[in-house]
Chain A
Amino acid sequence: MFLKPQTTKAAPKHTVDPANQPWVEKYRPKTIDDVSAQEHIVAVLQKTLTSSNLPHMLFYGPPGTGKTSTILALSRQLFGPDNFRNRVLELNASDERGIAIVRDKIKNFARQTPRAQTVASDGKVYPCPPYKIIILDEADSMTQDAQSALRRIMETHARITRFCLVCNYVTRIIEPLASRCSKFRFKPLDTSSTSLRLQHISSTEQIPVSLPVIDTLISVSGGDLRRAITYLQSASRLSSSTSPPTEITSQDIHEIAGVIPNPVINSFAKVLGVDIIDDSGMDVDDGGRAKGFDAVRGKVKELMREGYSASQLLSQLHDLIVPHPTLSARQKSQCAMVIAEADKALCDGADEELWVLEVALKVHKFLA
């Protein structure tokens, strides 16, 4: 019975108990000044707050770098809480974006021109410039056709609307559309900004997080702050739900992020003939290079039974081989090539076991 759609479209948005709110939402920057590490963009946008003139915009960059947060914060600062709903339209890939629907929604939205009320209920004054903002989030998943149709729509409504397209890959936005927008490139977050942000969150949440754990978070999330924050919250959930609560360890973070433990990777590499030098500089000697096909295949089957993902496995193997101190440049290149090929195959949907085995057998041969 709960499947009957309600007629009133009242998705209660902010009724979550703040304690249970996902931290990525809770710590989403409220103003553009809160956005870390994108100083250049913030400086430019800051001007639009006073000049009340805004171009169409295209935000692009990797996930979790603050694109959605920035446009939401900017809109909120422009219009304030009361006008936000009738001045800002957010459409994303989860909304039906067949072009007819987009056109309809935009038309309807652009038609009503509500009177701006500059002093908001929170007592603050907002610029409330005389246009509406339409955010097309995840725009790179719109079809080419939809994008071309969007050109016209943008022109028709140019007087009273500003568009903000948000995407990961700027190349997936058709040129005529991209050229109508001011482009803003979001960089992956640098280490120190990420670290500061994470420390801010952990101290506000009053959970003890050691510096090595922060470093681990930074290294597994690769500049994606959303990931880093989600991992931190998951880890804190897990560690606080045991009794007595335990402290978060780097190991926990690896587990949550799906990173394969080093001993597992090392023993795999060892079977393939890679010498593993441990921290003390000693050659670790538990079992050695596999003798033949069956041994290599056995190891691969064992790994697959553990459920490790092939792409993760290959990426960690790659990270072990490339900087390896004793392998020759030629051997490294050969290994890198077969791993690249496997990556492509996996993207095409290939069978994981076959390709992990393929890489294993090839590496085993190159290192003979």
Chain B
Amino acid sequence: MAADTAFASEENGVLKVRTCAWSPPGDHPVGCGLILHVQDGKLVKVEGDPDHPITHGRLCPRCIALDEVVYHEDRLQHPLVRDRADRGKNKWREVTWDEAYDLIEAKVREIWDKYGAESIFTLTGTGRESTLYAPVYGPAVLNTCNGASTYAFSGQACYGPRATIANYLLGAGVPEIDWAQYYEDRYDHPGWECPKYLIIWGKDPLYSSPDGFFGHSIIDLMKRGSKIITIDPRLTWLSSRAEFHLQLRPGTDAAVGMGLLRVIITEDLYDHDFVEKWCFGFDELAEAVKEWTPEKVQEVSWVDAQTLVGAARAFATNAPSSGIWGVALDQSKASTQAGQCFLAIMAICGYLDVPGGIAITKPTSFIGKWRYEMSDTISPEMAAKHIVDPTGKYALFNVGAAMGGVQGDTLLNWLEGMYKDYDCYYDLKMCWMIGTNPLACMADQPQRWYEAMKPLEFIVVQDIFMTPTIMALADVVLPLSTFAEHDGLVTPNFGRNQHFIGAMNKAFDNPNTKSDLEILIDMGKRLRPELWDRFESVDQFFDEQLRKNYDFGLDDVRAVPAKMAGYEYRKYEKGLLRPDGEPGFDTMTGMVELNSIVLASYGEGAVPYYEEPEFSHISKPELAEEYPLYYTTGGRNISMFHSEHRQVPSMRAMHPWPLVTINPVVAERYGIAEGDWVRVTSPQGHMTQKAHLTEEVNDKFVHVEHAWWFPEQDGEAPNLYGVWKANANNLIPHESVGVTGYGAPYKNGICKIERVDSLDD
């Protein structure tokens, strides 16, 4: 944090600190370049860094308004404790960090002795920096088998499904568009080509900048000639600029995918050379998609047959082209089949690992390797107590997943006592939540999770603001520092396709707050000193991790706006994907597995198939008469990250209320006007949001926003900042998940709507 270092300089009493943004406040590891202006220890201005090779100064409103987060009057500034009997009440006592740590340590030791460490579990959330460190808390600090990446989330319906399927089918990290992201000279890089077509499937990246993808790069590519194909129930802004918009019924992605594959295969538009040399199981795939004629796809998915055919032809015959798959593919029961289709399309068109195609890399070992080492610190006896579905479901999730952890539906069932009669059962006693606000954001049937968590003896949560989850459940709260107040590293795509490493440089102090990593190391030293005593500082930690994996250290990363990774094309020809150095892909067959023996061995289909969503007009026609509309959820607005930013004035002003988006024709049918409160009811529950009338949705479905709560409302139970009122997850069924344990219908279901008088109706 010293003045005049490689990343900071002082000018007229203003310290300008160059940094790469991550979190908190919420965001994915995009690592955009910021210059933070600091005067007298205070952040006075945020400016985009014109020298950052990815962003060149561009920033989202959220980063521009960082000062409003840092200095918000509701920011947590001290560790807080509360009597267990006072959960739900605003009866907090400020304590010092040492007192909070003492309390946690004593309680953990007591629970270890009385119930065993397996009775402790951790929960984490999406996207934030904590995703790197949270998985370590369970095994390496709390000594429990029920840590890793565990989410209060049905079907772990974000990223995990895509990461796992890419792992098995490609033997690689998560595929991305080749947007010249690996090169310092970007779009001018010799050999790079601009993708001719981009399939944007179940994703609205402009406003979400997901996983490490700087969303507005799509605009860069469009300026350079890329044409757009969107696959989305909603008319997104990108769809309005698209050459083809495949407006599908929510949840029917696999049908559309098989339809696209069928056109490409039957019209002989695929890359024979690549398929022959590098794909396994093409014939089985061709057989599986044979019945998916454009007419049948239209009947099932509502996608216009001509549009489907046109999109398939344009995509397959314009090399190189590329695509990006979104969380919508994870958020249906058929996530595996949809993912298989996406990867198969990219593979048979010959677009994998070529300039302007789909970029794939090996998952980087950086941080990952350390995480695995640290996870390997529990005894085999402890590991054997890991919570899995005792009836034998979800073998893939439990044995072969890319992300580990306890399957979310299994966890809720366990907490609710469903498995009490099994020999393997034991009571859970303690939870530590790291970077998650599940009651507002991800928990399916959130009130069930609330009731199920209440009996726990001890709950610790860390965050930057008071949240409904903290108010409802926490006994100890640890205040986190923002990314401007601590050191760290940004690893885009969580290391699963990392185009650079960026230094997150502390620009000013907030002495009463700590980062997720600092808390991890502090508590590690207290609870498992044998693992942690060697870590002296965060800097030393990062430097060591870097040097283990690269020929550079922390200072080298700090010396530049971003340390670019570089990229080698056609790695499969050069033996650069497999650990044995042989050509091919790092899969069982050494090829891209269009027909997956691994999936079959876990009881899943080896090739894609179509399964109707559990709640639809086809699978439940009688119920659908009562619930005549479809809903989808979770479209992003740029001023908010999941459940965050609701209390940040200029961000809330951009989007003051949760909106249910309704086609004007439908609204008229129900007597609903713009701005009316509307109750949306599914067979599972209801919630209320404000009507927004627009043709972004057609007359068959509505869109509701996710993760809303109201920091301005009464925080105490039962209101809990109004967290149940507009909560999209009230609508979501519990455990309607895929065979693998992955994928849940957060974005597709049936509903009815009615006008009501207020948010409270």
A complexed with B: no
Interface residues of chain A, those whose CB is within 8 Å of chain B, are none
